[in-house]
Chain A
Amino acid sequence: MTDIGSSRPAAQAFELVLDKGESRVAEFEVRARSPLQKLQHFLHANPTAVPAIVLLLSVAAFGFTVGSRFLSTFNLSLIIQQVTIIGVIGAAQTLIVITAGIDLSVGAIMVLCSIIMGKLAVTLGLPAPIALLVGVAAGAGCGVLNGALVTRLKLPPFIVTLGTWSIFFALNLWYSASETIRSQEVAKIAPLLQALGTPVNVLGARFTYGSFFMLGLVALIWFVLNRTAFGRHLYAVGDDPDAARLSGIRTDRILFSVYVIAGVICALGAWTLIGRIGSISPQAGQTANLDSITAVVVGGASLFGGRGSIIGTLIGALIVGVFRNGLALSDVDVLWQEFAVGWLIIIAVALDQWIRKVSA
């Protein structure tokens, strides 16, 4: 070190070449952007913005065309009641979709657990809390089977859950003997099973404990996804499993646990289901798996993994609920209601793709 006080030591001969090179560190290029690009960037940074805007627009549109029958607090709270089950099941689906998986068995797990709860409490006369716990344990068991097949046998989640969907549904029919337990019998013997159907009136709006339960569950999952290491690991595994493994995440353990958690949530969904329909029917929940995927996709999650939010799913479920309720009140034939919901899914995914193209 000869020239003390100078800001840089004198370069040795071989270092002279560096002056010709790039001396800046890596940084993002900031270009002047068109308003459309600015919007695209905003939407990319806020994945729930698209579904939230769509929800507001659809509420406004139906409010304008149908009027007060649609916009009454009672009707709007009714929509929340109607999407409660799909909201809960959609929460389970969201966690799995974030890891780039898919669970086609959610509806079957829910129905199987509701049958187990009903059989134990009503037919066998066990205390209702025990029946509930066994039902939740059964949901976890279904999740263990899904998770083990996905992580141990390395089978694609789509195939695994396509298979377990049939397996769980067959078990449901066998255990229930295809027979329904009537609402009156549940109310008489095990009212706790219907507890989540208890109505709560607030200023002309009508909620049920089930709606609050769903909101609480969504809040809890939001916290886990956004404020805990486990939540960040889910996104990492879904975005790039190899990178996640190389950075020290135990990807198999994460994947396995997410299926088990989904199974438990589906069992809780069974409790909300009994609350809503009163009776316990092996025929229930037949469209729940596809409806839950619809809610997740319309809510802005990507089926390729690594992108999605639980709030988005809740909004997605609400959008579908608003559409079905609003179209029914507008006297639109059920056939065209199906048609409209189909387009809704396509448009939601198209928007999502457009946002993912964002380059800045």
Chain B
Amino acid sequence: MRQSFGLFAALALTLGATSAFAADKPIVGLITKTNTNPFFVKMKAGAEEAAKANDVELRSFAGKVDGDNEGQVAAIENLIAAGAKGILITPNDSRAIVPAVEKARAAGILVIALDTPLDPANAADATFATDNFLAGQLIGQWAAKTLGAKAASAKIALLDLNVNQISVDVARDQGFLKGFGIDLGNPAKIGDEKDARIVGHDVTLGSEEGGRKAMENLLQKDPGISLVYTINEPAAAGAYEALRSVGRDKDVLIVSVDGGCPGVRNVKDGVIGATSMQFPLLMAAKGVEAVKAFASGGGKPKASPGLDFVNTGVELVTDKPAGEMPSIDSAAALKKCWG
């Protein structure tokens, strides 16, 4: 018994010693919502590249499914125990994660929210994100300009993410409506608008299957739908299949958000009229750089002017530019796309 305890102690000492040797590089933790969505897969790839370039050690974690808060809390606890210098997190639950984030910050760790702000936003040291409201606004304005005189009589279907009304979902949906020129009611709530041009909202879970089913049901509600907003490009692809099956693929306009490579190719093929591209690789890379600067004794990142987060940019992608709106075409976008 005593002998084995001695062995165990020796083993623990060796392990402790080796980890102490390995800890000369600052540890950066990346916690994504899931490890399944290509958006987060690319974000992780961007963080890995940046970690190599900045000579830091990256440790990646993810929630099990969309909305898994407990898994993310456990990941933060592990990173605190490992003595991480910084944590980059795309929160599954912007409010519920805050107590765990506070613990990390109390331990002297720099916490940066990526893609989705915390609630309150200042619970993190900084936020690097797409301006999702602007992303929605751009495709809304593009749709209004493209439809021209027909915009007044448009029939609009909105394909959202899920029933939870998370911040990204709400911002894109409401941004689109505002860009199109529709009175929002409460801009923090999907579905309270009174405009007669809205046929309805449905949820897609951001997948092709969900997009197809939601589009089919909304077409049953009103076969005259002329404009479709989608939360992301997989949902847009599903909606297009539904429209194609009833021969409406040529005369219905689909707009989307994301800028994933399959989505950009769908812009090129005329499936999607316009999409707002975001830059997950950039978010992760900037996050890693900020932690490196902080670990080397620098300060914390500053928010973009007029916003409470660091805006990592959004670009309108379309092959049919509308008026004076700045945009890039699908060929240029294919060089920048992710996934």
Contact = CB atoms under 8 A, between A and B. Distances in A.
A338 B207 CA distance: 18
A53 interface: no
Nearest to B165: A335
Contacts of B203: 334
A169 B271 CA distance: 29
A279 B202 contact: no
Given A281-B234, A283-B207, A284-B209, A179 B217 contact: no
Nearest to A284: B209
B48 interface: no
Contacts of A331: 200, 221
B36 interface: yes
Determine the main DSSP class of B at the interface with A: helix
Interface stretch (A141-149, A180-188, A297-305, A347-355): A180-188
A328 B262 contact: no
Contacts of B153: none
Contacts, number: 96
Interface of A: 69-70, 75, 78, 81-82, 85, 169, 173, 177-180, 182-184, 199, 206, 273, 276-279, 281-287, 324-325, 328-329, 331, 333-335, 338
Interface string B255-275: 000000010011001010000
Contacts of A199: 245
Contacts of A178: 36-38, 41, 339
Given A69-B221, A180-B262, A183-B241, A279 B208 contact: yes
Contacts of A75: 220
B90 to A, nearest CB: 15
Contact of A183 (B205, B221, B237): B237
Given A173-B35, A180-B38, A283-B37, A277 B241 contact: yes
Contacts of A179: 38, 262, 339
B29 interface: no
Given A277-B241, A281-B208, A285-B209, A78 B38 contact: no
Contacts of B217: 324-325, 328-329
17 contacts: A69-B220, A69-B221, A81-B216, A173-B36, A177-B41, A178-B41, A179-B262, A182-B237, A183-B241, A276-B209, A277-B237, A278-B208, A278-B237, A278-B241, A328-B218, A334-B201, A334-B203
Interface string B28-63: 000000011110010000000000000000000000
B292 interface: no
Interface residues of B, number: 35
A338 B241 CA distance: 25
A333 B203 CA distance: 10
A325 B218 CA distance: 10
Interface in B96-132: none
B213 interface: yes
Interface string B193-210: 000000011110111110
Contacts of A338: 163
Interface string B228-245: 000000100110110001
A184 B200 CA distance: 28
B234 A283 contact: yes
Contact of A277 (B212, B262, B265, B269): B212
A162 to B, nearest CB: 13
B191 interface: yes
A130 B208 CA distance: 25
A179 B234 CA distance: 11
A325 B220 CA distance: 9
Which 4 pairs across A and B sit closest by C-beta, in order of nearness?
A328-B217, A277-B208, A178-B41, A278-B241
Contacts of B213: 82
